[in-house]
Amino acid sequence: MEAAVPDWAYGVGRVAVLTGAGISTDSGIPDYRGPDGVWTRDPSAVSAFTYDNFISDPESRSRFWRVYHDHPAWRAEPNTAHRALSDLARSGTAVRVLTQNVDGLHLRAGSDPRKVLELHGSMREVVCLACRTRTPTEETLRRVAAGEDDPACLDCGGILKLAVVLFGEYLDSDTLGRAEQIARASQLMLAVGSSLQVEPVASLCALAVNSGARLVIVNRDPTPYDALAVEVVREPIGTALPRIAAMLAVHRSAESRPLDRTGG
């Protein structure tokens, strides 16, 4: 017997998808707070990812570069969940991806770069904190592999940092403003694979709901925003998101049924 289609899936033409580390675990990239997460296995590693420590302590920078030199993300490929979102966009649904991930897998899966906001930046580039020059990360990683523990900018000698947002560092205001506009304009907000514990990004869920959107959370563990959701899905992301995307594509032009915001 075919499963019933929930009310929230009918007549959705504009979808905002907030993705976190959980969407990339099937690609071999560990998450942060799960049972085998980066911070779970080594809580002290957080210090190397804190902005103040990074800019003031050469040893923190050295540890940071050691972590990223052989990071699994360099070998990762997009998985079924990443591809499901690009397929949904090709079906005619207006999809905007707001990702906390820095791995670039949404883009490699075929999502339109104009419709993906990398809220926490990208590990594919390095930026000099002094002269702001940006270079491909591969160039810096080759220097790390050759024995430079704390590679400096070749142009001005400044500190080099991955073009990602570290703990204690502000998000780009223009990027956050665009994300807020997208959340307000959405009919459905999907929060996928995120603990929704990192602000201000997590509050995009409340912004969407307060603007009239339906919120569906797909995550293994409870989040602070579960009570706002019309449905919380604990099913593995690799099976849940392709199913949801296919359902939205099929019922996009259907007349919207009355929405039971308690979870129908």
pLDDT digits (tens, 9 = 90+) for 194-226: 999 999 999 999 999 999 999 999 999 999 999
Taking 80 as the threshold, does the pLDDT of residue 41 lie above it? no
131 labelled ligand-binding = yes
Is 120 annotated in the active site?
A: yes
Neighbours of 134 (CB within 10 A): 10
Taking 60 as the threshold, does the pLDDT of residue 35 lie above it? no
Rounded mean pLDDT, 154-165: 96
156 labelled ligand-binding = yes
Delineate the domains of the chain, giving CATH numbers in brackets: 7-29+78-120+171-250 (3.40.50.1220), 48-70+124-164 (3.30.1600.10)
Cβ density class 141-171: b for 16+ within 10 Å, e for less? bebbeeeeebbbbeeeebbbbbbbbbeebeb
Phi, psi of 78 (to 5 degrees): -55, 145
From the list 226, 165, 236, the residue with the least C-alpha distance to 197 is: 226
Stated pTM of the model: 0.88
pLDDT at 54: 94
Name the β-bridge partners of 167.
50
pLDDT at 20: 96
Rounded mean pLDDT, 101-106: 96
Rounded mean pLDDT, 32-40: 54
Average pLDDT for the chain: 90
pLDDT at 261: 35
Contact between 199 and 225 under an 8 Å Cβ cutoff? The reply is: no
Question: Which of these is catalytic: 69, 71, 106, 120?
Answer: 120
pLDDT at 4: 81
Residue showing tokens 């030199």: 69
Residue showing tokens 């900018």: 153
Name the β-bridge partners of 117.
98
pLDDT at 263: 34
User: What tokens were used for 43?
Assistant: 């809580």
205 labelled ligand-binding = no
User: What tokens were used for 147?
Assistant: 């024995």
Q: How many Å apart are CA 31 and CA 195, to the nearest integer?
A: 10
CA dihedral angle for residue 121, residue 25, residue 22, residue 98, rounded to 10 degrees: 30
Residue-wise pLDDT for 124-155, tens only, equals 999 999 999 999 999 999 999 999 999 999 99
Rounded mean pLDDT, 227-245: 97
pLDDT at 1: 37
Rounded mean pLDDT, 110-119: 97
Cα 23 from chain centroid (whole Å) = 8
pLDDT at 253: 60
Contacts of 54 (CB under 8 A, 6+ apart): 48, 60, 61, 64, 159, 161, 166
